Amino acid sequence: MLEVTDLHAGYGDAQVLFGIDLRLEPGEIVAIVGSNGAGKTTLLRAISGAIRPTQGSIRLKGEELAGRQAHEMVEKGLIMVPEGRRLFPRMSVRRNLEIGAYSKRARPHLAERLEYVYRLFPILKERSEQLGGTLSGGQQQMCAIARGLVATPEVLMLDEVSLGLAPVMISRVYDAIRAIGDLGVTLLLVEQNVNQALSVADRAYVIQHGRVALSGTGKELQGNEEVRRIYLGLSSTEE
């Protein structure tokens, strides 16, 4: 579904990513984990077109997309749910969801996609006329994920979905991610919450200093001492 090869990217003269390789098969949940500042969000921004890679390939279903602008990536089906939810607080929940279908790709499917996300997140249907800014943090995260689903993604990329949420809400959001995966949606999940991410991931990549340090199935990487070392940023001498 998605193949990234030798991806380099950064901001101005500050290079952040150094030759990232990853792949997603159709219907997989793939997690990107690592410590703060490892380059996880930069990777999603490069794939989504928010920043332009300086080198490398991004192929969606075999089509080369590296260097395309963000709106072009959306039209192709690479949809990113950014860190911090980014809802329109003075718009209703329904209007926030409808905005997810602004692209030519998604517009004809708005009614069926709304029905789909309301089944997945019943609370959003109950509160469809409520202002987005009045929802709880967990409900706002559900709304942001639902807005991404309304955009009819080929790959849905989720950035730090557990950030700032209470443990009970993190559990509910991850239950929803499992349900989305069970429906066959291909997911790329960036998280600092390593245990949560690996618990739902079919496969995962551990990023350290802008490079892939480890990869494997979610189960293989859970409890791996090397993952702990990289995630905590400990050197062998510090251990």
| pLDDT single digits (tens) 99-109 | 888 888 888 88
What is this structure's pTM?
A: 0.85
Give the CA distances from residue 196 to residues 133, 145, 173, 203, 218, in Å, rounded to whole numbers and listed in that order: 26, 17, 10, 13, 10
Query: Can you give the pLDDT at residue 47?
Result: 93
pLDDT at 24: 95
Say how far apart CA 6 and CA 54 lie, in whole Å: 10
pLDDT at 31: 93
pLDDT score at 39: 86
Q: Which residues make beta-bridge pairs with 220?
A: none
d(CA 144, CA 97): 8
**DSSP track, 90-146:** TSBHHHHHHHTT-STTTGGGHHHHHHHHHHH-HHHHHTTTSBGGGS-HHHHHHHHHH
pLDDT the model gives residue 61: 93
> How many other C-beta atoms are found inside a 10 Å radius of the C-beta of residue 121?
22
Q: What is the pLDDT of residue 230?
A: 64
**Residue segments in the chain with a per-residue pLDDT below the cut of 50:** 234-239
**Per-residue pLDDT tens digits for 19-58:** 999 999 999 999 998 877 888 899 999 999 999 999 999 9
